[in-house]
C-alpha cells in the first residue's frame, strides 16, 4: 500500500491530540487510552485496511483521521490546529505578497520623482534598490556558512517566533473575539512541535525562509512595475554625479562589468554606452541644460535588468530551494519516536483483560442458548489468533535495568511477558544496577552491542525520584543517543507473592511531573502493570 502524504496540518493535529492524550492519561490512567485506541483500530482502521499491510506512518495517519472525524462529530464549531494552519497558510502569504508589492512600488515611485529640475540620481537609486539587497544576500550567505562551519543545523526558534507574531496579528480581538480557543490550541500544538527540536527544526526553518523570499520577490516586482509605469507615462530622466572625481570612462567600465550577466543575451542595448554615460554626467554648477535627452533616458533598461538579475532572480532561486528543502524536511520527519511507539502498541496489542471477559461472556451466552456453538468456535479462533500475535514483540528488544534490591525477586519470564504487553518490547537482557553513578560504563558497553534497541528502567513508584536519578537519566541519554527509547517502568508496592503490582495514581503523577522537567520526548514513564489488567 502506498502511504498517504503527510502535511504540516497533520503534524500539528497529531501534536494536539498527543497533548490531549497526555492530559487524559494523567486524569484517568493509561488504560483509558489503550481501550480507546484498540477499539478505534478494530472498528475503524482495520476494516478500512481490508487486510492490506500498512506502514507505520500510514497507520498513524489513519488513526489521526479517525480522531479528527470524532472531534468534528462532537463539536462542529471547534477548529483544530491543522485547520487554523490551512487558513493561516492561505491568508498570510497573500497578505505578505500584497504588502511587499505595494511597498516596493511605493518606495520606487517616491525615489523616481522627477519634476524637470534635476534628473533622478541613478547612483543613489542603484545603491538603495540593488546594493542593499545584494548586501543582505551576502550576509545571509555568510550566516549560513558560519552555521555550517560550526556544525549547526537549521534552527526552528526564529521560524516559530515569526509564525507566532503573525498569528498574534491575525487572531486579534476584532477578528476572532476575546479568549479565542482556536489560537490557544494552535499555539500549544506549535509549541509541542518546536519542543521536538530535531524532528521539526528543519521544517519550521525553511517555511519562514520561504515567506521571506516571497516577500523579496514581491518587493522587486513592485519596484520593476513602478519603473516601467513611470517610464511609460512620464518623461523620466536619469543622471549620475559624485563628489569624488570619477571619469566617464571609469563609470562606463563599471557599468559594463555590472552588466556582464545579461549583456551576452541583450547586447549593448541593455546598458548605456560611454557616450551616453558622458552625456548624463550631472555637474552641480552647470545645471542640466548641457545634458542630452537620449543619454538621460538610457539608464532605465540597465536599472531594470540589474534588479532582475541581482535581486529578483536570486530570490526566485532561493524560493525554489526553500520549497524543495521544506518538502524534503516534511518527508524526512522521523516516526521512530517513543510516543509513536506507544500509539502503535495501543493500536495493535490485544487487550488481555478484555479478551478474558469476552471469553466468559461467550460461555455464558452458549449456556443461555443465545449464541451458537459455531459462533463460539469462530470467536475462540479469533482469541487464539490475537494471543499468537503477542508472541512476537511489536517494536523489538529491550535491555532491562533493574535495581539490586528487586533484582532477585524479578522473575525473567514474568517481566518479559509484562513488558511485551505494556510496551511491545521483548526483554533481551537484564542488568543489575547497584549504584547510579557507577552503572553508566556498564550500560554504555551494553548499548554499543546488538542486544537491544530500548532501555527499560524498573523503578518502585512509591519511592519518588531523587536528584541522583535525574542526573543518571541525563547521562543515560548522552550515552545511548537522542532517539533511543528509554522507558521507566513503574512498579507498585510489593505484595507477598510478587513485586509486579499496580501503581497508585498519586505515585504515577508524581513521577511524571518530576520526569517531565527533563523535557525528553523519547523518555516514557508508565506503569508496568495496569489496574485494568491484573
Given a cut of 70, is residue 233 above it in pLDDT? yes
**182/13 Cα distance (integer angstroms):** 12
Q: How many helices (H) and strands (E) does the chain have?
A: 25, 7
- Which pLDDT score is estimated for 426? 87
Rounded CA separation 104/296 (Å)? 23
CA–CA separation, 534 vs 517, rounded Å? 31
Contacts 24+ apart (CB under 8 A), 65-69: 66/40, 67/13, 67/17, 67/40, 68/13
Please compute the mean of the pLDDT values over residues 360-382 and round it to a whole number: 40
For range 440-461, the mean pLDDT: 68
Q: What is the pLDDT of residue 31?
A: 79
Residue 489: Cβ-neighbour burial (10 angstroms; 0-12, 13-18, 19+): buried
> 346 by DSSP, 3-state: which?
helix
Asked if the model's pLDDT at residue 533 lies above 50, the reply is no
pLDDT tens for each residue of 182-217: 666 666 666 666 655 556 767 777 888 888 899 999
* Predicted pLDDT of residue 129: 93
Average pLDDT over residues 48-66: 83
Q: Give the residue among 11, 85, 80 at the shortest CA–CA distance from 340.
A: 11
Listed residue (443, 444, 410, 385) closest to 528, CA to CA: 410
pLDDT tens-digit series, residues 456-479 = 899 999 988 888 888 888 888 887
Q: What is the pLDDT of residues 90-115, one digit of tens each?
A: 888 888 899 999 999 999 998 888 66
Q: What is the pLDDT of residue 159?
A: 54
Q: Where residue 47 falls among pLDDT bands split at 50, 70, 90?
A: confident
Q: For residues 340-354, give the mean pLDDT.
A: 73
Model confidence at 52: pLDDT above 60: yes
Contacts of residue 279, Cβ cutoff 8 Å, sequence gap at least 6: 291, 292, 294, 295, 296
Better-scored residue on pLDDT, 513 or 292: 513
pLDDT at 6 over 50: yes
- State which H helix or E strand residue 179 sits in: none
Long-range residue pairs from 383-386, CB within 8 A, at least 24 positions apart, any chain: 383/355, 383/358, 383/359, 386/350, 386/355
Specify whether the CB–CB gap between 518 and 472 falls below 8 A: no
Specify whether the CB–CB gap between 187 and 167 falls below 8 A: yes
- Asked if residue 178 has pLDDT above 50, the reply is no
The DSSP H or E segment spanning 43 is none
Q: What is the pLDDT of residue 267?
A: 72
Residues 238-282 have pLDDT tens digits of 887 776 777 778 888 888 899 888 888 777 677 888 888 877 776
CA distance 423 to 527: 10
Neighbours of 122 (CB within 10 A): 25
Residue 174: its pLDDT value, please? 38
Task: Give the pLDDT band of residue 133 (cuts 50, 70, 90).
Answer: very high
Buried b (16+ CB within 10 A) or exposed e, 56-90: ebbbbbbbbbbbbeebeeeeeeebbbbbbbbebee
Over pLDDT 70: what percentage of the chain? 72
CB 312 within 8 A of CB 227: no
219 pLDDT band, cuts 50/70/90, is very high
Q: How many CA atoms lie within 13 A of 128 on its CB side?
A: 15
Whether 397 shows a pLDDT value over 90: the answer reads no
Distance CA 110, CA 295 (A): 22
DSSP of 253-314, one letter per residue? Answer: HHHHHHTHHHHHHHGGGGS--HHHHHHTB-BGGGBSTTS-HHHHTSSHHHHHHHHIIIIIHH
277-330: per-residue pLDDT in tens?
877 776 655 555 566 667 777 888 899 999 999 999 999 999 999 899 888 888
- Sorted by sequence, the CB contacts under 8 Å of residue 162 that are 6+ apart come out as 208, 211
- Chain mean pLDDT for the chain: 76
- pLDDT above 60 for 405: yes
Query: What is the full DSSP assignment across 407-442?
Result: HTT--HHHHHHHHHHHHSEEEEEEEEES-TTTSHHH
Select the more confidently predicted residue: 503 or 183: 503
Q: Which helix (H) or strand (E) holds 456?
A: strand 455-460
What's the Rg (C-alpha) of the chain? 34
First to last CA, the chain: 38
Q: Which of 126-130, 293-297, 379-383 has the lowest mean pLDDT?
A: 379-383
Q: Is 55 strand, coil or helix? A: coil
Q: What is the pLDDT of residue 388?
A: 40
Amino acid at each position: 500500500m502506498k502511504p498517504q502524504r503527510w502535511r504540516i496540518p497533520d503534524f500539528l493535529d497529531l501534536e494536539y491530540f498527543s497533548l490531549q492524550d497526555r492530559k487524559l492519561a494523567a486524569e484517568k490512567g493509561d488504560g483509558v487510552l489503550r481501550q480507546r485506541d484498540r477499539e478505534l483500530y478494530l472498528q475503524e482502521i482495520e476494516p478500512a485496511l481490508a487486510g492490506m499491510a500498512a506502514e507505520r506512518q500510514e497507520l498513524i495517519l489513519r488513526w489521526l483521521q479517525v480522531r479528527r472525524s470524532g472531534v468534528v462529530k462532537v463539536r462542529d464549531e471547534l477548529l483544530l490546529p491543522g485547520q487554523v494552519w490551512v487558513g493561516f497558510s492561505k491568508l498570510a502569504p497573500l497578505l505578505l505578497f500584497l504588502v511587499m508589492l505595494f511597498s516596493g512600488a511605493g518606495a520606487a515611485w517616491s525615489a523616481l520623482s522627477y519634476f524637470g529640475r534635476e534628473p533622478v540620481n541613478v547612483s543613489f537609486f542603484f545603491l538603495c534598490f540593488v546594493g542593499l539587497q545584494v548586501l543582505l544576500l551576502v550576509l545571509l550567505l555568510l550566516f549560513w556558512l558560519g552555521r555550517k562551519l560550526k556544525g549547526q543545523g537549521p534552527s526552528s526558534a526564529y521560524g516559530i517566533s515569526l509564525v507566532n507574531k503573525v498569528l498574534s496579528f491575525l487572531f486579534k480581538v476584532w477578528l476572532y473575539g476575546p479568549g479565542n480557543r482556536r489560537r490557544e490550541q494552535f499555539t500549544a500544538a506549535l509549541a509541542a512541535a518546536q519542543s521536538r527540536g530535531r524532528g521539526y527544526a528543519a521544517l519550521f526553518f525553511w517555511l519562514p525562509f520561504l515567506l521571506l523570499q516571497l516577500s523579496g520577490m514581491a518587493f522587486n516586482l513592485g519596484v520593476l512595475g513602478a519603473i516601467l509605469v513611470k517610464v511609460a507615462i512620464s518623461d523620466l530622466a536619469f543622471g549620475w554625479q559624485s563628489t569624488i572625481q570619477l571619469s566617464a570612462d571609469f563609470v562606463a567600465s563599471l557599468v559594463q562589468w555590472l552588466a556582464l550577466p545579461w549583456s551576452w543575451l541583450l547586447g549593448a542595448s541593455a546598458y548605456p554606452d560611454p557616450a551616453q554615460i558622458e552625456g548624463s554626467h550631472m555637474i552641480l554648477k552647470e545645471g542640466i541644460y548641457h545634458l542630452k535627452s537620449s543619454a538621460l533616458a538610457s539608464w532605465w533598461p540597465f536599472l531594470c535588468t540589474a534588479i532582475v538579475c541581482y535581486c529578483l532572480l536570486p530570490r526566485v532561486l532561493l524560493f525554489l530551494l526553500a520549497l524543495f528543502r521544506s518538502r524534503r524536511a516534511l518527508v524526512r520527519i522521523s516516526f521512530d519516536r517513543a510516543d509513536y511507539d506507544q500509539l502503535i502498541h495501543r493500536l495493535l496489542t490485544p487487550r488481555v483483560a478484555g479478551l478474558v471477559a469476552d471469553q466468559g461472556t461467550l460461555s455464558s451466552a452458549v449456556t443461555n442458548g443465545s449464541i451458537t456453538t459455531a459462533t463460539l468456535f469462530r470467536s475462540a479462533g479469533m482469541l487464539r489468533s490475537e494471543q499468537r500475535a503477542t508472541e512476537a514483540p511489536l517494536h523489538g528488544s529491550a535491555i532491562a535495568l533493574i535495581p539490586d534490591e528487586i533484582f532477585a525477586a524479578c522473575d525473567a519470564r514474568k517481566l518479559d511477558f509484562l513488558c511485551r504487553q505494556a510496551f511491545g518490547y521483548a526483554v533481551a537482557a537484564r542488568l543489575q544496577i547497584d549504584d547510579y553513578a557507577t552503572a553508566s560504563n556498564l550500560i554504555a558497553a551494553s548499548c554499543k552491542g546488538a542486544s537491544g534497541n530500548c532501555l527499560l528502567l524498573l523503578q518502585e513508584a512509591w519511592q519518588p525520584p531523587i536528584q541522583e536519578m535525574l542526573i543518571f537519566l541525563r547521562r543515560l541519554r548522552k550515552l545511548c543517543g537522542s532517539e533511543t527509547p528509554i522507558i521507566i517502568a513503574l512498579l507498585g508496592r510489593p505484595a507477598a507473592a510478587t513485586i509486579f503490582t499496580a501503581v497508585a495514581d498519586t505515585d504515577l503523577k508524581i513521577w511524571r511531573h518530576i520526569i517531565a522537567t527533563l523535557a525528553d520526548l523519547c523518555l516514557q514513564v508508565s506503569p508496568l502493570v495496569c489496574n485494568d489488567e491484573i
